[in-house]
Amino acid sequence: MEGNRILDVVTSPSDLKALSDEELSILACEIREQILETTACTGGHVASSLGAVEIILAVHSLIDCPHDRFVFDVGHQSYAHKLVTGRLDEFRSLRTYGGLSGFPKPEESPFDAHPSGHASDSLSVAYGLAEARDLRGDEQKIVALIGDASLAGGMAFEALNQIGQSQTPMVIILNDNEMSISRNVGALMKHLGYMRTTAEYRQARDSIQERMEKNGPVARALMQIGRNVKDSMKHMAIPRSMIFEQLGILCTAPIDGHNIGLLKETLAVALAADCPVLVHVVTKKGAGYAPAERDPETFHGIGPFDLDTGLAVKKPVAPPSYTSVFGQALVREAEADERIVAMTAAMKGGTGLKEFAERFPERFFDEGIAEEHMVAMASGLALGGAKPVVAVYSTFLQRAIDQMIIDCCLPDLDVVFAIDRAGVVGEDGPTHHGMFDLVYTRMVPHMKVLAPSDEAELIHCLHTALALGGPVSVRYPRGEGQGVALPDKPEVLPVGESKLVREGTDIAILAFGRMVSPSLEAARLLSESGIETRVVDMRWVKPLDRQAIRRAAQTQLVVTVEGGVVAGGAGEGVLAVMAEEGCLAPALNLGIGDRFIHQGKTDLLLADLGLDGKGIAEAVEQKYLSL
């Protein structure tokens, strides 16, 4: 592939300014080939990055980064950006331990404006940059790239409202590909589709043209660009109801997001405007790679795949994932209880709810990238007599902590939070690790928290959560289970009771969730040194098993092991119980320290954190011998 490529001589965005539109189009093809060659080995966010290549090239050919700022929403579409900002030689390390992040990361490159990873925040960040520029009296250009699904998030609307009111010059590129991770939902998405097809869209052009031509040279220039667009895109005709114009943001007609010349022409005028401009760009997710175009949801985030067929590389036969076990268990629970409904935020596939959605479409709710709305809606469903199960990644539930506290926990409603991707999640890195849910769930009155240690326990925990009253969280990790036999019939677990999984008299390890397995391995290693170690599967993070804690305090050392941050986590809860009970035994809390965790395979990250069997054993033995 390499050799005599334009890509090989592009070392910074400034190099793009010397390229013709035809050369930029050739470069776009080379970038797609490089993205595919790399992600076929590493996995990654393929479809999103393939769809945004021309947008990224057009922007970088017109602005002067890093002085000017290019802000990505989520950042999963930024691979082309990485390739033209001096990271080609490192690109094969994408999403690997010690390699390039899969998202923009300021510590990785000065061209990355902020650490993207969560949706709907780009407009707020870009607006803040624009206001700071105005305070300095600078001529800096600010461009934000946001997808149509992210635009549906409430935070984006809050930013749009202020941007329109302030009239601060900046450019918003709306990448409209009709996809988030799952298919977009909501009235705004329908409105964007309506813009592209309705007769009103075509009929409005005369009155809109007259109005815009009175708005000065920038508006007239945008109108001239509109005249050059072919077919249904050739006129600058925005429906009278267009929300962006009503908010005070000048908006272009939808343009072809894979036409370099048209993109540059439109963006050049938008960048020259003395007001905020939204450039509406229509792209195809997965563009340039047929398998990704056919199945953009799968290729949103995919592991290694065969480049010729697009099929995922077959892995050795492995136990089912926690996610799939949860999804199947929830279907069985819903068969027995018609009050159960399932909810997700644009993650139907990722949270294991596809089968539920097919079996019970009237009881399935996909709220798009709007976690706050989803959790508040869950409270309304519970008030109305339903039993909502909110299936959400740990890192994304952080966005709805207020709604969890006030709307669900304060009124003590029957809402189950199925918290997927809890703990270290692997290659997506610091914006996606589920490090904090043990803290923000156990801190709230009325909330009960379960942490299953394997896939069989997950089935019991889900059944228990649905049987109990009030809000309950069940947190479980990403990836395959332990390979244990699944129960034919789920059990209701006694509230606040742990399970002894190994006896020992010298040390007691109180382990939470996925940390039970490495704790057992640590106990085996410690026994080789003559240290007999008890291991307790705590099951409940809240309420804690006080009897198990008192008994653990009768050994020479109490150790807690959890897959989240130590500060405010389950281990500190154990210490509080020990203090309340007057237990004076030495203690050691193991978990994630006061730092963010980079990307890499989960086993490597856990080893780095000292949370594999070897690391736990070493830390425990060192503490034990120092007593």
Which of 30, 54, 371, 455 is catalytic? The answer is 371
In this structure, are residues 418 and 392 in contact, taking their beta carbons and an 8 Å threshold? Answer: yes
Residues in contact with 451: Cβ distance below 8 Å, sequence separation at least 6, in sequence order: 422, 438, 461, 474, 475, 476, 512, 513, 538, 539, 540, 541, 570
End-to-end alpha-carbon separation of the chain, Å? 60
- H or E segment and range at residue 223: helix 217-228
Determine whether 285 is an active site residue. Answer: yes
Which of 399, 442, 475, 539 is catalytic? The answer is 399
What single DSSP character describes residue 184?
Answer: P
From the centroid of its chain, how far is CA 562?
A: 22
As a whole number of angstroms, the distance between CA 552 and CA 386 comes to 40
Beta bridge partners of 534: 508
Structure tokens at 625: 């011998």
In this structure, are residues 47 and 79 in contact, taking their beta carbons and an 8 Å threshold? Answer: no
Residues in contact with 149: Cβ distance below 8 Å, sequence separation at least 6, in sequence order: 119, 179, 180, 181, 184, 189, 346, 368, 369
Which of 105, 133, 264, 285 is catalytic? The answer is 285
Which regions of 249-322 does DSSP assign to beta strands (E)? 250-251, 255-256, 276-282
As a whole number of angstroms, the distance between CA 560 and CA 61 comes to 54
Which regions of 354-511 does DSSP assign to beta strands (E)? 364-366, 387-393, 416-420, 448-450, 472-475, 499-502, 507-511
Determine whether 371 is an active site residue. Answer: yes
As a whole number of angstroms, the distance between CA 16 and CA 27 comes to 9
Place of tokens 């976690």: 371
Residues in contact with 547: Cβ distance below 8 Å, sequence separation at least 6, in sequence order: none
Beta bridge partners of 170: 276
As a whole number of angstroms, the distance between CA 622 and CA 241 comes to 68
Pairing state of beta strands 472-475 and 448-450?
A: parallel
Determine whether 399 is an active site residue. Answer: yes
Total Cβ atoms within 10 A of residue 226: 22
In this structure, are residues 238 and 204 in contact, taking their beta carbons and an 8 Å threshold? Answer: yes
Structure tokens at 244: 């962006």
Q: What residues are annotated to the active site?
A: 285, 371, 399
